[in-house]
């Protein structure tokens, strides 16, 4: 099984079949308080960016849906100052990437975007929401899997290594505040395309 097949397996049909609970976009609002715990208890501050990952469909209706998501985010950005961009990575995943120094605005914008996909009948195309944090140059992420309806931590390090000790620490501190995936085989790494980049770059 190749890398892309593994990704499809974890975020795609296998994950849906093995899901322990339905995804709920309201879960995203858990990050509104979790970011404060990340800073106060762990010293990790928001990187000022977050992203929604989805798998595209070659259809006019889906393209219209993406356009509507852009319109919603553009309107919201006029009030919050949140900016966004769309990007396709080397795996063929599509991303809505948001920038804002206020983590609560990022959470709200991600929720608006996800909710629009779901309302338009494309909830099954949503893969993950990714929230980035940083402490003294070391990055950590909380990834919400829409196929599993749960969060999991991801702490990438150079050479496609992971700081598993930090991941377990994040899990222990945020348990009870976030719905965390209890099957570690689904803590799938979303590696950045470029060294020093984020998973959505």
Residue with tokens 């009030």: 79
Helix (H) or strand (E) holding 38, with range, is helix 31-42
pTM: 0.88
Residue 199 lies in a domain: no
Give the C-alpha separation, 163 to 190, whole Å.
14
Q: Mean pLDDT throughout 66-70? A: 96
Q: How far apart are the first and last CA of the chain?
A: 24
93 inside domain? yes
- Is 193 among the domain residues? no
Q: Is 43 left (phi over 0), alpha (psi -120 to 50) or beta?
A: left
pLDDT tens digit string along 1-21? Answer: 333 444 444 454 444 445 445
Helix, strand, coil fractions of the chain, as percent rounded to 5: 45, 25, 30
Give the domain CATH number at 68. 3.30.70.1130
- Is residue 191 assigned to a domain? no
Query: For the segment 45-67, what is each residue's pLDDT rounded down to a tens digit?
Result: 999 999 999 999 999 999 999 99
Give the sign of the dihedral formed by CA 88, CA 188, CA 123, CA 151: negative
Whether 201 is covered by a domain: the verdict is: no
pLDDT tens digits along 137-179:
899 999 999 999 999 999 999 888 999 999 999 999 999 999 9
Cα separation, 48 vs 106, whole angstroms: 8
Residue 196 lies in a domain: no
Question: Which residue range is the domain that position 32 belongs to?
Answer: 3-17+25-186
- What total number of domains does the chain contain? 1
For residue 150, being part of any structural domain is answered with yes
Query: Does the residue 192 lie in any domain?
Result: no
3-state secondary structure of 136: coil
Based on C-alpha coordinates, what's the Rg of the chain? 16
């Amino acid at each position: 099984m190749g890398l892309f097949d593994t990704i499809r397996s974890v975020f795609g049909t296998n994950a849906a079949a093995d899901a322990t609970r339905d995804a709920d976009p309201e879960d995203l609002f858990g990050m509104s308080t979790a970011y404060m715990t990340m800073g106060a208890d762990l010293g990790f501050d928001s990187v000022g960016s977050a992203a929604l990952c989805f798998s595209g469909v070659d259809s006019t209706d889906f393209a219209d849906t993406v356009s509507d998501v852009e319109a919603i985010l553009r309107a919201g950005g006029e009030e919050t100052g949140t900016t966004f961009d769309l990007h396709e990575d080397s795996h063929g995943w599509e991303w809505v990437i948001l920038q804002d120094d206020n983590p609560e605005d990022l959470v709200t914008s991600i929720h608006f975007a996800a909710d629009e996909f779901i309302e338009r009948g494309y909830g099954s195309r949503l893969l993950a929401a990714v929230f980035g944090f940083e402490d003294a140059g070391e990055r950590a992420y909380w990834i919400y899997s829409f196929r599993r309806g749960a969060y999991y931590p991801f702490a990438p390090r150079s050479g496609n290594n992971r700081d598993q000790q930090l991941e377990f620490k994040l899990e222990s501190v945020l348990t009870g505040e976030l719905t965390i995936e209890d099957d570690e085989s689904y803590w799938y790494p979303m590696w950045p395309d470029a060294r020093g980049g984020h998973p959505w770059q």
